[in-house]
């Protein structure tokens, strides 16, 4: 399963990078969202996707899945969410100020 998930994460990063290399501000924001999904899934994969029980001690099982990556991912999700919200508003304001979402037109003059 880990191998499959690693490949999936790779696909996520591939698509996200492609989106971030685009000219449209909003595709870039989409790319940011996807890349954070990729990172989160990767953390989970690195912890091992064992077939233990969910990390709830009430289950009284022999084997638990690794709780630490889950905690890390939770923190990461929140941080990514904050970032996404901010970037989205930033993108919107940039579009609003410059009236275009094409980054090629937003290069700035070479001396500026």
Restricted to residues 43-102, the positions that interact with another protein (CB under 8 A) are: 43-58, 64-79, 81-98, 101
| C-alpha count within 13 angstroms, C-beta hemisphere, residue 48 | 11
**The two structure tokens encoding residue 10:** 């790779």
- CB 100, min distance to another protein, A: 9
- CB 59, min distance to another protein, A: 9
In the range 6-35, which residues lie near another protein by CB under 8 A?
Answer: 6-15, 17-28, 30, 32-35
- Length in residues, the chain: 112
Distance CA 58, CA 65 (A): 14
Q: How far is CA 78 from CA 64, 71, 81, 88, in A?
A: 24, 11, 5, 15
Total binding residues toward another protein, as defined by CB under 8 A: 98
CA 86 from chain centre, in angstroms, equals 14
- CB 41, min distance to another protein, A: 7
- CB 74, min distance to another protein, A: 6
């Amino acid at each position: 399963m880990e191998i499959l998930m690693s490949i999936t994460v790779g696909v996520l990063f591939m698509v996200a990078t492609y989106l971030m290399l685009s000219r449209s501000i909003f595709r870039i924001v989409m790319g940011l969202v996807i890349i954070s999904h990729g990172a989160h899934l990767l953390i989970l994969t690195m912890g091992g996707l064992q077939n233990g029980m969910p990390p709830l001690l009430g289950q009284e099982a022999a084997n638990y899945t690794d709780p630490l990556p889950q905690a890390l991912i939770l923190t990461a999700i929140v941080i990514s969410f904050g970032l996404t919200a901010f970037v989205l508003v930033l993108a919107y304001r940039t579009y609003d100020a410059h009236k275009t979402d094409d980054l090629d037109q937003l290069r700035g003059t070479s001396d500026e």
